[in-house]
Amino acid sequence: MNRYAISGVLIADHRDLDPDAARERPQSSIPVPGWTEAAAVMASLFDEFIVVAADPSACLAWDAMIVRDHYRPPGLLSGIHAGLFSASHPHIIVAAAVDPVTSDGVEPLMKALESRWDAVLHESGQTCVALPGIYGKRALRPLTQLLASGEWRFDRFLSRIRTRRVAAQDLNPAGGPNR
């Protein structure tokens, strides 16, 4: 299998990944059960593999670049931020260990990726689904400004970047991102 020339970012711990959830909800730095299997898939798919964890010491068993969120509490946007900040490639694909990507799920997103897009996400109805998703380094500045201002809403982030939407039926025959 060929590796994609992009950084793969895995959010390894339990955190609120709901883009519309309040950031004050309690979080856990315990890695998701089975996260090492998700990590193995990500490491096999991408040139660079980054693990984002609230407590990096809980993830030392895996051979990867392990980074911590720069903003607290850990959440969806802080995980994307940590991945973008740490990546050496101009784009990252972010997935959660609770729902990791497969090569079938990555291919349509990669085909839709062009340098002009700050994000490539699949759509669900009228909204975009945050994970799995591709995010570009140009999104780092607006994301940093948003988090520093205390704003943690995913829709506010999307309003500040150029996003390519991929229809759900284009992701794979089953209609879902991973299955």
Token look-up 């940590």 returns 82
Q: How high is the pLDDT of residue 141?
A: 98
Residues in the chain, pLDDT under 50: 22-26, 172-179
Q: How high is the pLDDT of residue 27?
A: 52
Three-class DSSP labels, 87-110: CCCCEEEEEECCECCCHHHHHHHH
- How far apart CA 143 and CA 141 sit, in angstroms, is 5
Going by C-alpha positions, the residue among 80, 52, 66 that lies closest to residue 146 is 80
Q: How high is the pLDDT of residue 36?
A: 73
Helix (H, G, I), strand (E, B) or coil at 153: coil
Residue 124: its H or E element: strand 119-124
Q: Taking a C-beta distance cutoff of 8 angstroms, is the pair 9, 56 a contact?
A: no
Q: How high is the pLDDT of residue 8?
A: 95
Residue 53 CA from chain centroid, whole number: 12
Residue 164: its H or E element: strand 163-166
Q: How many residues does the chain have?
A: 179
One-letter amino acid at 151 equals E
One-letter amino acid at 134 equals I
Cis before 73 (ω within 30): yes
Token look-up 């500045």 returns 141
One-letter amino acid at 105 equals G
Q: How high is the pLDDT of residue 179?
A: 29
